[in-house]
């Protein structure tokens, strides 16, 4: 069998996407050269940055695509890095020169903040599971971890590598098909973030405006508990955002969660529904249901606000275990009662805020 043509190899490389930019490496001008010598093919690839953390993924994708071309017997992939000028051109080709919120009025992305009145109700776990449920239904999803002081999204998604910078453009980290941005990708060794309000506002503005979110269908924002600076900043940066409120069944928790709803009303952020987390416990050996935290707080809050109760998520050890293992329960145990409720909640959110127009 004769060797492949250069055109055939280039055609195969068209299908290879950069894992962070989700664009063909050919369209991104990352393929510097293709040399064909009989059945031996050498591909010279310029990575977006020197020391790219996903270079092994790119190497594997290029090798697999070229090996599939008829006539190829051997593949050599050379990995270099773009020059400053090449990277500058690519950065401006992707996001232009303006540094403004891509989620301002007129954006096709549906933005959903996930809020709670206090900590400890499982808000971050709900955010992570809603994101994976939406992604599993075929939507493009991003998660912004706005809980700058108490970030937990990186651990819940099982990623521990830093973000990549392309000039002043931040590339989000992707895990399980969801694009993520968190202070956890920037802080060193779980160091505490000790900032006053102006620094917090600047960081959140950067997370919204300087990250290559790439026009997702849905952006979920894991808000910190309470009604402080972060919620106000998000309402200014993303005036079209909606809110999901997470509470537990206790009346005390419901009364505190009501404050988050009051904040949302004050800044014009519509509440689409309530999720009652840790709603009940079903004994795995007997099937008996226990109302561990009795009170019906989720239903009471939803009725008070005039919004749906999106889900009653049961108290299951697997929910916490899956989050600690870096794979939220809707992916780790898709048939479990908790996962079923969380998928139902995600679809109810879609029904409430709508499906984005095609990109």
Which pLDDT tens digits describe the chain residue by residue (359 residues)? 578 999 999 999 999 999 989 999 999 999 999 999 999 999 999 999 888 889 999 999 999 999 999 999 999 999 999 999 998 889 888 876 666 778 877 789 999 999 988 888 899 999 999 999 999 999 999 999 998 888 899 999 999 888 888 888 899 999 999 999 998 888 765 666 666 667 877 888 888 989 999 999 999 999 988 766 777 788 888 888 999 999 999 888 888 888 888 888 888 889 999 999 998 888 888 878 888 777 788 999 999 999 999 999 999 888 888 888 999 999 999 989 999 999 999 999 999 999 887 76
Hey, CA dihedral for 233, 308, 142, 57, is it positive or negative?
positive
pLDDT at 359: 65
pLDDT for the residue numbered 267 = 82
Domain ranges of the chain: 6-94, 110-353
Fold of the CATH domain 6-94: GMP Synthetase; Chain A, domain 3 (3.30.300)
Q: How far, in Å, CA of 142 to CA of 175, rounded?
A: 10
Instruction: Give every strand in the sheet of 271-276, ordered side by side.
Output: 173-175, 178-182, 141-145, 218-222, 110-115, 242-247, 271-276, 309-312
Indicate the fold that domain 110-353 takes in CATH: Rossmann fold (3.40.50)
d(CA 205, CA 203): 5
Tokens 């071309």, residue? Answer: 69
Q: Are 191 and 149 in contact (CB under 8 A)?
A: no
């Amino acid at each position: 069998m004769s060797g492949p043509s250069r055109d055939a190899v280039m055609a195969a490389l068209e299908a290879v996407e950069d894992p962070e930019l989700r664009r063909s490496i050919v369209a991104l001008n990352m393929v510097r050269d293709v040399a064909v010598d009989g059945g031996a093919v050498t591909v010279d690839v310029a990575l977006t940055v020197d020391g790219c953390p996903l270079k092994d993924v790119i190497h594997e994708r290029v090798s697999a695509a070229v090996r599939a071309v008829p006539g190829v017997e051997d593949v050599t992939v050379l990995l270099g890095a773009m020059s400053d000028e090449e990277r500058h051109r690519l950065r401006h080709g992707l996001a232009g020169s303006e540094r403004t919120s891509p989620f301002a009025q007129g954006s096709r992305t549906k933005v959903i903040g996930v809020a709670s009145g206090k900590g400890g109700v499982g808000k971050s776990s709900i955010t992570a599971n809603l994101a994976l449920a939406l992604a599993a239904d075929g939507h493009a999803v991003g998660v912004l971890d706005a809980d700058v002081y108490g970030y937990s999204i990186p651990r819940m998604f099982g990623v521990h590598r830093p973000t990549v910078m392309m000039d002043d453009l931040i590339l989000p980290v992707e895990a399980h098909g969801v694009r993520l941005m968190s202070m956890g990708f920037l802080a060193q060794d779980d160091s505490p973030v000790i900032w006053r309000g102006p620094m917090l506002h600047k960081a959140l503005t950067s997370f919204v405006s300087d990250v290559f979110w790439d026009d997702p269908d849905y952006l979920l924002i894991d808000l910190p508990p309470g009604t402080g600076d972060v919620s106000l900043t998000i309402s200014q940066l993303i005036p079209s955002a909606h809110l999901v409120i997470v509470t537990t069944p206790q009346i005390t928790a419901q009364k505190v969660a009501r404050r988050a709803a009051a904040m949302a009303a004050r800044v014009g952020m519509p509440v689409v529904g309530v999720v009652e987390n840790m709603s009940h416990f079903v004994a795995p050996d007997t099937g008996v249901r226990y109302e561990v935290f009795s009170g019906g707080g989720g239903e009471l809050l939803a009725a008070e606000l005039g919004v749906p109760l999106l889900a009653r998520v049961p108290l299951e050890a697997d929910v916490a275990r899956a989050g600690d293992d870096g794979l939220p329960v809707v992916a780790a145990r898709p048939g479990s009662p908790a996962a079923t409720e969380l998928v139902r909640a995600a679809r109810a959110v879609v029904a409430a805020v709508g499906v984005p127009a095609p990109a």
